[in-house]
A and B are shown apart, each in its own frame.
Chain A
Amino acid sequence: MIFPVLTQSQKRSIGVLALMGLIGGGTAMAIGELGMRLTQIWEFLLPILQKLPIPEMASQIAGMVIECSLLIGFISVSVMFMVWWERKVSAHMQSRLGPMTTGGWHGWAQTIADGIKLILKEDIIPESANSWVHRLAPVLVFVPAFICYAVLPFGSNLIAVNLDIGVLFIFAISGLSVLGIVMAGWGSGNKYSMLGGLRAAAQSVSYEIPRVLSIVPILLFVGSLKLTDIANYQSGMWFGFIPRWFIFYPVIGQIAFIIFLISSVAETNRTPFDIAEAESELVAGFHTEYSGMKFSLFFLAEYAYVFLSSGLTTALFLGGGSGPLLPTWVWFLLKSFGIVFLFLWFRWTFPRMRVDRLMEFTWKFLMPWSFVNILIAGAVVLALGV
C-alpha cells in the first residue's frame, strides 16, 4: 500500500469531509424526526380524506403517480449527483481538481449546466439510419432501468412496489436494455456502430449469467425472492458486532459478492469492460450517432444502471438499510453510494480488457465459480438445516 505523506491542503480536505459527514448524519437524524412528524400529520389527515367522496381508483392512481414521480425525482437527482461526483473523484485521483466554478462551490451545478447544454443541441439523425429504430433505442435502454427502481428497498417500508418476485423482476427487465443497445447499433446506419453494438450486446448477455447465478446462494438461505425479505434476513448481529450481512458469510458470501460485483460492472459497460462505450481504438461505440437529448438519455441510463446495481448489491449483500442510529434509508443510500464509489474507482484505475479475453473471463472463470458457489451453499444449507 502506498500511503503518501499528507499535505496541508489534504489534511484540510479530510477535515472538511469529516465535518460534512457529521452534519449530514445530523441532518438525516433530524429528517428522521421530521418523517415521524409527517407520518403523524398523514395519520391525522387520512380519516378526513377517507370521508371525502373520492373514488377508490383515483386514490390508487394518485398513489402510483406520486410513487413514480418520487422515483423519477430521486433518479434524476442521484444521476446528476453521480455525474458530478465521478468527475470530482476521477479528478482527485488524477491529481487535478475537476469542476470548480459552475454554481460556485466545487462546481456542483456542472451536471445541470451540461444537461441544459445537451437539451439545446441539435438532434441529428443520420441519413442512412432507420429513423424510428434510431429514436426508440435510447428509450428502450433507459426505461427498464427506471422500471427496476420500483422494486428497490430504499429502507424499511420504503419500497414502491413490493413484488413477490423482486429479484427476478429486476434481472428480467434489465435484460431488456440489451435490445435497446442492439437497436442503437443497427439503427445508426454505420458499420462500426453496429459492430460495437453487437459486441456490447454479447458482453451484456454473457455477463448476465454469472450475475444471476451468484445470487442463488442468497436465495437458498432466504427462501424468498422478495427484496424486503432478503434485506430483513440480514438484520441483527453475530457475537454482537459482526452484522449478519451476506458478504460476511464465510467463503460463500465473499465469492458471491465478488462475482456479482464484477458482473455488474460488466453489465453496466464500465471500465474495465467498456469496449462498447470508450473512445475505443478503432470501432466507434454504439452511441456515436446520437446527439443532444438522446445521448443524454444513454448517459442517464448508464448512471441509473450503476446506482441500480449498487442498490441491488446493498440490498442483497450489505444488509440494505440495517444499521444503528441513522434512519434506514440513510444507511441504504450510504451503502449504495459506497458501492458507486467502488464503480468509479475501478473505472479510473484499471485498463480496458480485450473483447475476447472478456468473454473468456466470464464463460471460463466466473460462471464455473458461481456454480461451485451454489454447490457449497447448497451443502451448507442442507447441513445446517436452515
Chain B
Amino acid sequence: MATELIRIPGSDFQTEEMILNLGPQHPSTHGVLRVVLKIDGEVITAAQPDVGYLHRGTEKLAENRTYPQMLVISDRWDYLSAMSNNLIWCLAVEKLLQIEVPLRGDYLRVIMVELNRIASHLVFFGTYGIDIGAYTPFLHAFREREKILDLFEEVSGARMTYNYIRIGGVMADLPEDWIGKCRSFLEWIKPRFVEYDILLTENPIFKDRTQNIGIISKEDAISYAITGPNLRGCGISFDLRKDEPYCHYQDFKFDVPTGKQGDCWDRYWVRIQEMKESVKIVEQALDHLPTGVPNAKVPRIIRPPVGESYAQLEAPRGVLGIYCLSAGEDKPYRVHVRAPSFINLTILQKILVGMKLADVVAILGSIDIVLGEVDR
C-alpha cells in the first residue's frame, strides 16, 4: 500500500500516513498472522490482514487420501478444537455413505465436542487476558485445560490431535472410570467460572479496554458471513446446535447466550457464557448416556457413492462446514473446508478503521481466530 499525504484542513501542515506492520511474529498468541496497518497518528485508516503463512494445502492433500486418512489431517485445521474438526469430517462422509450413527455414539460425540468447546474457550479467555495485560487468568485457564486434556488423553491417547471421532461412530468406547472423572471435573470447574467473572469479566479496567470498541453491526455481520460467538455477540441468536441440530443436540436443554452491542466485551461475554452452557450439556449427556455399541457398521474400505454433500456444525469459532464431492472412489474428488476463522477475519478490514492503535490487539483477540483454520 502506498502512503498518502494527508492535508489537515486549516493549516498548511502535511503529515504522512505511516504503514505499520503487525508482523507474522508478535506477542499476541494467535499464530502467524500479519496485519498491515495504515495509521495517521494514533488512528487507523486502513487495515489489511495477510494470511497464508500456515497454508498446508489440505484441500489438495484430500484428493490423494482415503476418507479415514483425511481424519488425521482434519485434526490440524482448528487445532484447539480438534474434536469438532473430526466430527465435521465424519458428518460429511456419513452423509455421503448414508449411514446413521447409533445413539450412544452420538452422545459420546456430543460430550467430546462440548468438552473441547470448554477447552477452546479457555484458551481464548487466557490469551485475551494476556492481550489486555492481565497475565494471571492465562495460567488459571490452562490449569483447567490440563484437566480436560487429561480426560481426552484417557479416551483417545492424545492431547491435541485426538482422532477420536471416526466415520461411523467413535474410536472406542469410554474407559471404565472416565465418567466419574468427567463428573468430578465438571464439579471442579463450576466455581472457577465465578472466579473468572470476578477477576476479568467485571473488572472495570477490562471493561474499559473492551467496551465500545470493534463494534460489528448486525447488517455487517450478516453480509460479511460472520458466524459463531462473533455473530451472537451482535445480538443475532443463530446457533446451529439449536437451529439445525445434528448429533441429537435437540435432546439437550441449553440456552444460546446472545450479546447486545457487538463490541469486544459482548463477544468475550458470549464465550464465557457458552462455557457454562457446555457444562450443562455434558452433564445432561452423561446423565442420559444410552447403553449399546457406539459405532455403526461401516465397510472396511470406505467408498461412498457418487454425489456431493455439505455438512456444517457449530465449532467454537463459528460455523465449520465441509463440502465434499465424491466420484465413487475411495478418495474424495474435491473437499472444501468452510473455515469460520478465515471468513470471520475479513471483517477486521472494516472494524479496525477509525480505532486507535492501542485497540488493535484487543479487537483482533476478540474475533478469536486460529491460524490453522484460516490457512488450512
Contacts and interface: CB of A to CB of B under 8 A. Distances in A.
B196 to A, nearest CB: 11
B203 A279 contact: no
A95 B28 contact: no
10 contacts: A94-B135, A271-B133, A274-B133, A349-B136, A350-B133, A350-B203, A352-B134, A353-B209, A355-B358, A356-B358
B316 interface: no
B226 to A, nearest CB: 24
Given A96-B139, A282-B360, A351 B20 contact: no
Interface residues of A, number: 23
Given A2-B195, A281-B131, A349-B199, A354 B358 contact: yes
Contacts of A236: none
- Provide the main secondary structure of the chain B interface: helix
Given A93-B136, A95-B139, A351 B359 contact: no
A364 interface: no
B206 interface: yes
Contact of A354 (B22, B134, B139, B359): B359
Contact of A2 (B198, B209, B358): B198
A357 B133 CA distance: 15
B27 interface: yes
Contacts of B358: 281-282, 354-356
Contacts of A353: 133, 205, 208-209
A103 to B, nearest CB: 24
Q: By CB atoms of chain A within 10 A, which of B139, B191, B195, B199 has the most?
A: B139
Contacts of B205: 272, 350-353
Nearest to A281: B361
B357 interface: yes
A348 interface: yes
A94 B140 contact: yes
Contacts of A96: 139
A29 interface: no
B269 to A, nearest CB: 15
A278 interface: yes
B28 A348 contact: no
Q: By CB atoms of chain A within 10 A, which of B131, B133, B143, B208 has the most?
A: B133
Given A281-B360, A351-B205, A353-B208, A94 B200 contact: no
Contacts, number: 72
B129 A351 contact: yes
Given A2-B194, A350-B203, A355-B358, A281 B27 contact: yes
B27 A279 contact: yes
Interface string A89-101: 0100111100000
Contact of B209 (A93, A95, A278, A351): A351
B126 to A, nearest CB: 11
A348 B136 contact: yes
Given A353-B209, A357-B208, A282 B203 contact: no
B34 interface: no
Interface in A76-95: 90, 93-95
Given A272-B205, A354-B208, A95 B140 contact: yes
Given A94-B135, A272-B133, A352-B133, 4 more contacts: A93-B136, A271-B133, A274-B133, A352-B134
Given A271-B133, A279-B27, A281-B358, A354 B209 contact: yes
A351 B360 contact: no
Nearest to A95: B143
B350 interface: no
A348 B200 CA distance: 12
A128 B206 CA distance: 38
Interface string A265-281: 00000011010001101
A90 B22 CA distance: 29
Nearest to B27: A279
Interface in B172-222: 191, 194-195, 198-200, 203, 205-206, 208-209
Given A356-B356, A357-B208, A351 B134 contact: yes
